[in-house]
Structure 1
Amino acid sequence: MSKENKTPPSSILENKGILAGISFIAGILLLVGILYATGILGGSAAVPPEECGRTVISYVNANLVGNSTATLVSVTEKDGVYHVAARYEGKDLVFFSTKDCTYLFSTARNMKTTPTPTPVPATTVPPVKSARPSVELFAMAFCPYGVQAENAMKPVAELLGTKADIKVRYIVSINGDSVDAVKSLHGISEAKEDLRQICVAKNYPQKYWSYITELNAQCYPIYKNATQLESCQKNITESLGIDNRQIETCALGSEGLALLRADEAITKTLRVTGSPTLILNGQIYSGQRTPEAYKQAICNHFETPPAECSVNLSAQAVAASSGSC
């Protein structure tokens, strides 16, 4: 048989392109081989196994290998084709040939069985690093999953708040210039509380995390009762030394609305719809919702992690790893 018009590769392992090409038509050749071998297509008479084996090895050495040579080990007939066992550079190989020794292929597939899919390894995206990571937790004031995520983030904010920009952003839709134009998933009470919280963050940043975690613990369970909620909100602000009148003025006026519009714009730009959603330096976080997991994720985004990253926070889950509003 004539050689292919190609420079022989150095080894079978390095000649994956040829073998891959052979493998690609293996299924068709197997069928053709069986039909030829059984005479259905009028193929040539079967060549004796040992003779075909020597022909296969001769072809392999002439066309598929370079410096070394393959040696014949054995030839067996199975399912209408020859299985030619060979040895090359200490490795065992098997080739397949039609019984008339006309077609050679490297892979035989049993079409009566379902092949096991090759697992695709998960793609790990490297974290985007910066000197001061941006940490944005998107939430709704009365979303149960958002409340849990905020509670998990509080100790992280207390630990890394001076090293990273950690913010809660509110998921709303604003279609006018008044509080009534603010739409939030859990109704007007949530919309107003979103405004209150963003005003506390603006005017009392050092007390913000204490405010929302206290409100989550005491007021969230009763948020559907407007009278009880208002009384609870006042108690929280009073206990923390926050001027409730100042917060109300901000929340019900243009200042609060402007702050919330800014969050709405960012939410739309990033296409965030679920509460909670955590975005670190522009990358969506999808891991566990625990203080330690949040801390570690943020620390992975530092160019040089600060000493605080070595502090171990509680790994106890305070929020489910899945679920959102």
Structure 2
Amino acid sequence: METDKAKEEITEGTTKQTQQTTQTPASDPDKKSVKLNWTKIGIIALIIAIIALIIVLIIILTTRAPTTTKEVYNLNYSLETENGSIINQDTNEFEKGTVASTLQLASNQLDKELEGIHKGESKTITLEAKDAFGEYDDSKKFTYKRVSQENRSMEMNRSSWLTIQDFSDTFNEQPEINKTYTLSQAPWPFKVIEKNDTHVKVSQEAELNQEIPFDFFTYKVIGITNEKITLKLFGNDTVIPSPNGNLEINFTENEVITKLTPMVGQEVQLENYPKARVTGMNETHLFLDANHPYAGQKIIVKINVNDIKLVKTSISGKTVQHIEGAPTLQVFIMSYCPFGLQALKGLLPVWEKFQGKANIELRFVSYTMHGAKEDEENSRMICIREEQSSKLLPYLKCFVEAGDASGCIKKAGIDEGKLTSCMASRASQYMEEDKALNEKYGVQGSPTFVLDGKEANIYPRDPQSIATAICSAFKGSKPSVCSETFSKQNPSPGFGSGSSSSSSGGSCG
């Protein structure tokens, strides 16, 4: 019994000792506080990280251009007449629903026939005339007077009234009575002859027998009165190539006579007339037909589907970003205005060099003067500017050479389906911004240069003059490109690569 009791005491003592040695010591208050603080810091850091991630996602979602997914066909196709003559054959990509419009067909019947088509499938479709290139319309045949006669002399007002604000904006000075002012692009100085609280009267100080170069010819001042300046055009008989044919120019004593001679079968775009084919001519008139060459005929369309894919694209497609703090040069033109083309030819080499360094924008005058072809081309350029901006410069460099829009689209690698869709449905919306800018800056004609919100008088329109104007607008340090030398050759008005020696700049409008 004693032995058992001793064992119990030993066991109990051992257990207590073990409990004492294994018991968790009381917590240190300072260590507990440190542990708690690190826990709080970790939670706060996690919350901050989550908030930062949310902000980044918001920025990405709000600054990224909205996208849309489109179905794109890659097609081998041919368009043929019923007797087998091939009108057009090619391989190209088309957005679903734009095949007919891209091929310039009269209706969307072809797109309806392609609904549900699959990769690898071939299809032959016969389109009635109304769904192909339209029914033949006799009312689309017309004549055009190919010979014009104009008086070699012209009169212009010698003086005009300007608001003091307009005068200051133009000459960068306040007007003073009897003081003479000059403009780099003007053929003669201007003199302030009257002044009141709001307006000044300015006289053009031309000199008798003064000569003013004008493209291939020269104007000469043959008369000056207090009210009028009389000019007369001088030059040699010549033939000038144009997109609509050769323009023959002859001088008589009092008139300048022009005669247009295109090729029979040539497609021309005459001012205030639709695009048409020349079917014949006599000494005084051209005979033209605005019907499509295959109007009134059934057309056979043969299609093989190489591929069908889904493409995610930006709705606007615009990738050019505004450079904060850099000058902004906006050039307003009409696409077929000879002087707008002149400005564009001077601008393009500068635009290429100043990419990423200055903001250069092609804009359009809110009205046109050169017929339906100009309306169409303005829309085309606007759509390339807005939706395929990386192709704009290559397209413009090609277009100013000969006005060959179709060839330049292919040369620049422009998505024709997207372009056609834009011209049909979105170009007018984009033009609203240009119209608002026209009103804001008081744009009157083509070309108009607006530099940092103010109209700029840039002439000659050579690359060096344009580059100098941009560089002068930098505040602070200028980019290294401002140290480069550009051509001082003033481009000729119109299409082509010639030069002009004219000391004054013409405009349309």
State TM-score, norm by structure 1. Answer: 0.52
Deviation at 1:202, TM superposition (A): 1.4
Q: Per-residue deviation at 1:282?
A: 1.6
Q: 1:291 aligns with which of 457, 463, 470?
A: 463
Change (3 A) 1:120 1:197: same
Q: What's the secondary structure of 1:312's corresponding residue?
A: coil
- 2:362: which partner in 1? 168
Q: Deviations over 1:143-171 (max 9, x none)?
A: 00000100100011001121111011111
List aligned pairs for 1:165-204, cutoff 5 A: 165-173=359-367, 184-204=368-388
How far has the Cα of 1:123 moved from its partner? 10
Instruction: Find the structure with the greater CA-based Rg.
Output: 2
Shift of 1:200: 0.7
Query: Helix, strand or coil: the match of 2:361?
Result: strand
> Secondary structure of 1:152's match?
helix
SS at match of 1:275: coil
> Quick one: distance in 1 between partners of 2:181 and 2:370?
40
Distance 2:481 2:340 in 1: 25
CA contact (8 A) 2:441 2:455 kept: no
1:324 matched to 2:497? The reply is: no
Distance 1:186 1:123, change over 3 A: closer
Per the alignment, do residues 162 and 121 of structure 1 end up closer, same or farther by CA in structure 2, a change over 3 Å counting? same
Q: Identify the residue that residue 311 of structure 1 maps to in structure 2.
A: 484
Superposition TM-score, scaled by structure 2 size:
0.34
The structure 1 segments of at least 4 consecutive aligned residues displaced by more than 4 Å after TM superposition are: 117-124
**Corresponding residue number in structure 2 for 1:251:** 423
Report the CA distance shift for 1:312/1:188 in structure 2 as closer, same or farther (over 3 A): same
Cα 1:123–1:212 change in 2 (3 A) is: closer
CA distance in structure 1 between the partners assigned to 2:406 and 2:416 by the alignment: 6
Any residues of structure 2 matched to 1:221-300 within 5 Å, and which? Answer: 232-253=404-425, 255-288=426-459, 289-300=461-472
Mapped to 1, the partners of 2:180 and 2:381 lie a distance apart of 44
Shift of 1:119: 4.3
**Structure 1 match to 2:340:** 146
- Structure 2 unaligned residues grouped into runs of 5+: 1-176, 185-323, 493-501
The Cα of 1:261 is off from its aligned counterpart by: 1.2
Which has the larger share of helix? 1
CA distance in 1, matches of 2:507, 2:183: 24
CA contact (8 A) 1:234 1:244 kept: no
Equivalent position amino acid for 1:308 in 2: V
Answer whether contact 1:156 1:294 (CA < 8 A) is retained.
Answer: yes
| 2:409 partner letter | T
Give the whole-Å Cα distance in 2 for the aligned partners of 1:309 and 1:271. 29
Conservation of the 8 A alpha-carbon contact between 2:379 and 2:427 = yes
> 1:135 is paired with a residue of what secondary structure?
strand
Look up the equivalent residue of 2:474 and give its one-letter code.
Answer: F
Instruction: State the SS of the aligned residue for 2:335.
Output: coil
Cα distance in 1 for residues equivalent to 2:181 and 2:491:
30
State the Cα RMSD in Å. Answer: 2.2
The CA deviation string for residues 214-257 of structure 1, in whole angstroms up to 9 with x for no partner, is: 112122xxxxxxxxxxxx4222111111112211110121x211
Question: Match for residue 131 of structure 1?
Answer: 325
Q: Is structure 2 residue 394 aligned with structure 1 residue 210?
A: yes
Aligned length in residues: 181
1:119/1:237 CA distance change after superposition, 3 Å: same
